[in-house]
Amino acid sequence: MQSKFTHNQTAHCENGVVSNLMKFNGFNVSEPMVFGIGSGLLYCYLPFLKVNHAPVVTYRIMPGQIFKRYAKRVGVKIKKEKFKSPEQAKIRLDQNIKNNNPVGLQVGVYNLVYFPDEYRFHFNAHNLIVYGKNDDSYLISDPVMETVTTLTDKELEKVRFAKGAFAPKGHMYYPTDFPETLNLEKAIIKGIKHTCRDMLAPMPILGVRGIRLTAKLIRKWPKKKGIKVANHYLGQIVRMQEEIGTGGGGFRYIYAAFLQESSKILNNETLADLSTEMTAIGDLWRDFALDASRIYKNRKAKDDAYNDIASQLEAIASKEEVFFKKLKKAV
């Protein structure tokens, strides 16, 4: 059982799954367009949620929300399913494959055997596509991988029912109905307005304020938590930024590409200018990650290293505040 599915590598898993599923169904939608319409860009510091014994920092909305928002805004109907048992999940997956319907799955990363060891840790919000089956092996299109791969029945079951935070519980999703054409113009504007609202929200853990809070905490961690814990927390920030999906800098680059593409669809040159500005902000996130990684790997010579990178974050927050206020006015 195998559909005529074309694998396209993308920068981020959920965007890539949605883009590839749309292309399979005859709609040539890019990864940046999925991400922007789905209002995927975010910053949130979650001290009450721990992964690998450190607070969670997220640079994107909750798993599954990009597809949900995107589909609603362009008029695509979708189906999402979770399961109590692996047997039930397998039956529903096989039914879809038999009906030539590739599906997206949310899975755990730790037991993905085709991932390099250094990328396999306890994170349960990765996304991939199953598009076919040969004997007891499922045909896998993981958008962040260069080529397609396979997982055995047992290997796939293990990642579909991984335990811990964001446990996927066999989560499977796919589009079920499409409009004749996608109304991208209105969808783009709704997506942009939602992202601006999130990033400028008056909540201490969210958006620009969340970035400033993180900077404030970084200054305190060495004395309050000790160097070992401070380094671990800092490593978590960078891991969330650089290894889970595409993180702080990468998501900014994707969003810049979305604005560039949207400027042509909406005939709005301001969005093209803002695309360039967002790319520069992405560069600042990349520089922050590099400097932070030198600290927790003990290769940073400066005594005041924590204060330095906290200042970098505060500068990023200021630039993003100005950026999203301008973006809000542009639409």
Per-residue pLDDT tens over the stretch 112-127: 999 887 777 777 888 9
pLDDT, position 3 = 63
pLDDT, position 116 = 82
Rounded CA gap, 264 and 99, in Å?
A: 37
Torsion of CA 68, 73, 79, 82, to 10 degrees: 10
pLDDT, position 80 = 95
Query: Is there a contact between 104 and 17 (Cβ–Cβ < 8 Å)?
Result: yes
Token reading at 146: 């260069």
Q: At what angle do helices 65-74 and 13-24 cross, to 10 degrees?
A: 40
pLDDT, position 294 = 85
pLDDT tens for each residue of 44-56? 999 888 877 888 8
Q: Nearest to residue 70, comparing CAs of 95, 33, 97? A: 33
> Which of 57-66, 155-164, 182-191, 301-310 is least confident?
301-310
| Beta carbons within 8 Å of 234's beta carbon, 6+ residues apart | 218, 221, 292, 295, 296, 306, 309
Q: Where do the structural domains in the chain lie, given as residue ranges? A: 13-37+77-177, 184-330
Residue 88 has pLDDT above 60, yes or no: yes
Rounded CA gap, 291 and 240, in Å?
A: 15
Q: Taking the CB of residue 328, how many other CB atoms lie within 10 A of it?
A: 15
Query: Is there a contact between 286 and 252 (Cβ–Cβ < 8 Å)?
Result: no
Amino acid (one-letter) located at 140: I
What stretches of the chain adopt beta strand conformation (E)? 41-51, 54-60, 77-81, 103-107, 126-134, 137-141, 149-152, 172-177
Please tell me what DSSP assigns to residue 80: E
Rounded CA gap, 260 and 255, in Å?
A: 9
Residue 8 has pLDDT above 70, yes or no: yes
* Mean pLDDT on 241-268: 83
* Mean pLDDT on 65-94: 96
Percent of the chain at pLDDT above 70?
Answer: 95
**DSSP strand pairing (103-107 vs 77-81):** unpaired
pLDDT, position 303 = 57
Query: Is there a contact between 133 and 139 (Cβ–Cβ < 8 Å)?
Result: yes
Q: What is the pLDDT of the chain when averaged over all its residues? A: 91
pLDDT, position 1 = 59
- Cα(first)–Cα(last) distance of the chain, in Å? 46
Rounded CA gap, 256 and 23, in Å?
A: 22
* Mean pLDDT on 38-48: 93
Query: Is there a contact between 261 and 184 (Cβ–Cβ < 8 Å)?
Result: no
Q: How confident is the model at residue 301 (pLDDT cuts 50, 70, 90)?
A: very low
Superfamily name and number for 13-37+77-177: Cysteine proteinases (3.90.70.10)
DSSP per-residue letters across 169-213: TT-EEEEEE--SS--HHHHHHHHHHHHHHHHT-S-TTBHHHHHHH
